[in-house]
Amino acid sequence: MPLQTIGMLTPTADVSITPLGGTLQSYRGYLDSFSIDEVVELVPEDTFANEGSVKTTPGRDQLRVTASGVLKLGAAGAGPLIPFPQGALIAFLYATGCSISSNWNASRSGATRVVNANGRLSLDAVSQGTYVVLWDRGT
């Protein structure tokens, strides 16, 4: 399989949010960007025995996401993500067969309105527990 770029020629991106005990809601028609970063806590192990050199070991591993989109009217998922359903299962679909999902807790949700511009919704969240990365490697 030849390498392909994930971009506008693979228009399958989606973000689906399933609140605990709730129903899956697609945000494909509202969000226009999302970015996921892996953050690994580095635990210092400095002692007098290794003074002068820094020694760390990997600790807690979490994903952090930032997502944003256009505020709209007239649908259940069109408005701001306030209050955000903590512990919600969110799946970020980059392209067919390429996704990252986990349960997330929001650290910030926002709704912005600026004169002569579209209203914006935004979200920052942190993964809770394990996460799943599925990626089509063409094999």
Q: Would you write out the chain's pLDDT as a tens digit for each of its 139 residues?
A: 567 777 766 678 889 999 888 888 888 888 899 999 999 999 988 888 888 888 899 999 999 999 999 988 877 666 778 888 899 999 999 988 899 999 999 999 999 998 999 899 999 999 998 999 999 876 5
Domain contains 2 = no
Domain contains 59 = yes
Domains contained in the chain, number: 1
Say how far apart CA 65 and CA 92 lie, in whole Å: 10
Q: Strand 120-134 and strand 14-18: pairing?
A: unpaired
Strand partners, 105: 126
Residue 74 carries which side chain, given as an amino acid letter?
G
Q: Tell me what pLDDT residue 2 has.
A: 66
Domain contains 139 = no
The single-letter DSSP state of residue 116 is: T
Domain that residue 60 falls in: 14-43+52-134
Q: Tell me what pLDDT residue 82 has.
A: 83
Domain contains 5 = no
Domain contains 3 = no
pTM, to two decimals = 0.82
Say how far apart CA 128 and CA 123 lie, in whole Å: 16
Name the token pair of 100: 């990252």
Chain position carrying tokens 């994930």 = 6
Closest CA to 32 of 56, 62, 68: 68
Domain contains 130 = yes
Domain contains 1 = no
Domain contains 8 = no
